[in-house]
Amino acid sequence: MISLKAGSFLQNNSTSFSGISSFSHSQRKVSAPVVVALNSNGRGGERKFKALMESTLKEIREGASALDMDPKPNPGAGVEDVYGEDRATEDQPVTPWTTSVASGYSLLRDPHHNKGLAFTDKERDAHYVRGLLPPAVVTQELQEKKLMHNLRQYQVPLQRYMALMDLQERNQRLFYKLLIDNVEELLPVVYTPTVGEACQKYGSIFRRPQGLYISLKEKGKILEVLKNWPEKKIQVIVVTDGERILGLGDLGCQGMGIPVGKLALYTALGGVRPSSCLPVTIDVGTNNEELLKDEFYIGIRQKRATGQEYSELLHEFMCAVKQNYGEKVLIQFEDFANHNAFELLAKYRASHLVFNDDIQGTASVVLAGVVAALKLVGGTLAEHTFLFLGAGEAGTGIAELIALEMSKQTKAPIEETRKKIWLVDSKGLIVSSRMESLQHFKKPWAHEHEPLKTLLDAVKAIKPTVLIGSSGVGKTFTKEVVEAMASFNERPVIFALSNPTSQSECTAEQAYTWSKGRAIFASGSPFDPVECNGKVFVPGQANNAYIFPGFGLGLVISGAIRVHDDMLLAASEALAGQVTEDNFDKGLIYPPFCNIRKISAEIAANVASKAYELGLATRLPRPANLVKYAESCMYSPVYRNYR
Ligand SMILES: NC(=O)C1=CN([C@@H]2O[C@H](COP(=O)(O)OP(=O)(O)OC[C@H]3O[C@@H](n4cnc5c(N)ncnc54)[C@H](OP(=O)(O)O)[C@@H]3O)[C@@H](O)[C@H]2O)C=CC1
Ligand SMILES: CC(=O)C(=O)O
Ligand SMILES: [Mg+2]
């Protein structure tokens, strides 16, 4: 075992090199000079190691220029090839560095470098794995084929989820190759709906920890906890406190499945490197009585901390992140309850690079779907009338972005364009007579109207052209509601955004059947194509997964320091622009996920372009072709050759 450590000595068989602090990226408490400690383990590896060190140092110091992009990647923009992995080709192999040079048994157990049976004979000799594997040598493609075959044998979605998580823990590149090549089939497993069930049962299915847990016990020590994470170059953090996991409510610490899943998509769909992604769960307790009683629950057993105690922990986290990773790390808030979500976004948007996926990402994806739908239904955005069921993060976030875009298009003040948008919450239609009792984020939507209690009454009174479900409550778009929409719209536009599938406002089949095949329908969780009156209808998936991976990539490659609403509009425009005539012919208002990497590159380029235009980008000079640049920065899961 050859280990490379910063600021420490090895007791036996050790040889020291000094002055190579450039290697210190993955160890904490780095102090110069960095010491490389060598334990040759009786393999006579000392000379070999010195030669290896010299050649690798040379490669890192000089070799980077060979394949650099024009303009050169800027370390500040966070896209540099920290591990030398991009430079690896058949002719130019690299060393599989971790905090140690992984070899032998530990190499097979290191998910970042393990290739299983794909290790060549030469690699098996060079890295001491001969005999630790059966003799067959197979390609990554064959491994993929076998795994897909095995996954398809499972009847229960949760078993597929667990098999995929095991793979991620065992062989990271193979996991991402599977996910990228089979995105439409595997998205419902690592993401909604199956990830919802996984979170509900997270304590029971828990095997190896994923991500970073920061609980009230870590108060005062969050910076230290961040330093326990093995990677130093973090570019994207997805953080939840588990209080509103999909439409499933408070799952406390078990919400970890969400940041883990979202970040898997950052890599697979947006090409952000797995090593630069950090899933975080903040555990302040849970109000879920069942979990508190569950002997397998993995979080702290207490009611949720609120008020000052909550905000102090969150503030310590936000400060520690900036201190540890710098100004340009993206913090994505995910599945917080709305009473905290709006406040956190407002509090930190001026000082940190923050993005709330449920408020902002969802807004961007739904606006794109609406803009695309206009091609099928006709009219401008301002000529349509919108009604929401659900006036929380998703509902008011989407409403505000639609109103902003309408205002930009018509030059009318946003106070005016908001009047085209109506929302219903658990107490009925939001109207001005309720103003006093409304939460702050609902107040802009309190228009003059008589109070109405039910969605059906609101549909009949407002006569919306677009109906959007964002309440987290399933089966709320009843036959009467859909029939009412179809009675005054030739092509009613219906979004059933709530996740997972059990919480969907209606199914695709119901939307098409009840509207006699006239609905333009999209849902947050996927539905299979439906045959109605001899015609096949393909429902779209209106999910923020279309937006956040490309959006985040755009921020990272431009070195953006803040998120601006115009970037959300830019992302939305790029997504809507990817819907083809062929997609429209099938009634689709989103492009299929199988092209998601191309879509993400377009989104990233539009977002980055906006960041430059707004003076929020720090990566200079601006690459001439941002789409090509975004594509070139994307992580590839193909195995690297080891020397
Ligand atoms: N497809 C996608 O990409 C996304 C989907 N979502 C989904 O949207 C749903 C809501 O999320 P989010 O907005 O964050 O949640 P919030 O808790 O912030 O908002 C929920 C809203 O729904 C209202 N509501 C609850 N029950 C009813 C009811 N029976 N009738 C009418 N209104 C009701 C609430 O009313 P009140 O305020 O009165 O309590 C509240 O306004 C979730 O299922 C989530 O999974 C979220 C983000 C992205
Ligand atoms: C998709 C998503 O972010 C949600 O349902 O919360
Ligand atoms: Mg969410």
Q: Is residue 380 part of a domain?
A: yes
- Tell which atom from ligand 2 comes closest to the C-alpha of 262: 3
pLDDT at 100: 65
pLDDT in tens, 5-36: 332 322 233 323 222 233 333 333 222 222 23
Q: Does residue 199 have its Cβ closer than 6 Å to ligand 1?
A: no
pLDDT in tens, 69-82: 333 444 344 455 54
3-state DSSP call for residue 523? strand
Residue 335 annotated in ligand binding: yes
Q: Is residue 228 part of a domain?
A: yes
Report whether 468 contacts 385 (CB < 8 A): no
Note the ipTM here: 0.99
Q: Which tokens sit at 152?
A: 């398809």
pLDDT at 217: 97
Do both 205 and 314 map to the same domain? yes
pLDDT at 583: 95
How far, in Å, CA of 91 to CA of 75, rounded? 26
Query: Active-site positions?
Result: 191, 262
How far, in Å, CA of 239 to CA of 282, rounded? 7
Do both 374 and 470 map to the same domain? yes
Q: Is residue 138 part of a domain?
A: no
Amino acid identity, residue 181?
A: D
Structural domain that includes position 219 = 143-352
CA 291 from chain center: how many Å? 26
- Residue whose C-alpha is closest to residue 567's, from 550, 579, 589, 543: 550
Q: Does residue 393 have its Cβ closer than 6 Å to ligand 2?
A: no
Do both 278 and 406 map to the same domain? no
- Centre of ligand 2 from the C-alpha of residue 356, in Å: 11
Among 513, 545, 577, where does a domain finish? 545
Range from 10-14, 141-145, 226-230, 385-389 carrying the lowest mean pLDDT: 10-14
> Which CATH number characterizes residue 509's domain?
3.40.50.720
Q: Which tokens sit at 192?
A: 């909604």
Do both 346 and 367 map to the same domain? no
Residue 603 has pLDDT above 90, yes or no: yes
Among 102, 135, 166, where does a domain finish? 102
Q: Is residue 596 part of a domain?
A: no
Do both 174 and 278 map to the same domain? yes
Dihedral sign (CA 564, 570, 571, 572): positive
Q: What is the dihedral of CA 614, 616, 621, 627, to 10 degrees?
A: -70
Range from 22-31, 113-122, 370-379, 551-560 carrying the lowest mean pLDDT: 22-31
pLDDT in tens, 484-521: 999 999 999 999 999 999 999 999 999 999 999 999 99
Residue 51 pLDDT grade (very low, low, confident, very high; cuts 50, 70, 90):
low
Q: Is residue 422 part of a domain?
A: yes
Do both 290 and 312 map to the same domain? yes
Looking at the structure of the chain, the number of domains it has is 3
Do both 216 and 292 map to the same domain? yes
Q: What is the dihedral of CA 78, 80, 86, 88, to 10 degrees?
A: -140
Do both 371 and 296 map to the same domain? no
Q: Is residue 584 part of a domain?
A: no
- Centre of ligand 1 from the C-alpha of residue 498, in Å: 7
In this structure, the residue with its CA closest to atom 18 of ligand 1 is 392
Portion of the chain with pLDDT greater than 90, in percent: 82
Q: Is residue 604 part of a domain?
A: no
Do both 493 and 347 map to the same domain? no
Report whether 401 contacts 364 (CB < 8 A): yes
Q: Which ligand is nearest to the CA of 458?
A: 1
Q: Does residue 456 have its Cβ closer than 6 Å to ligand 1?
A: no
Q: Is residue 189 part of a domain?
A: yes
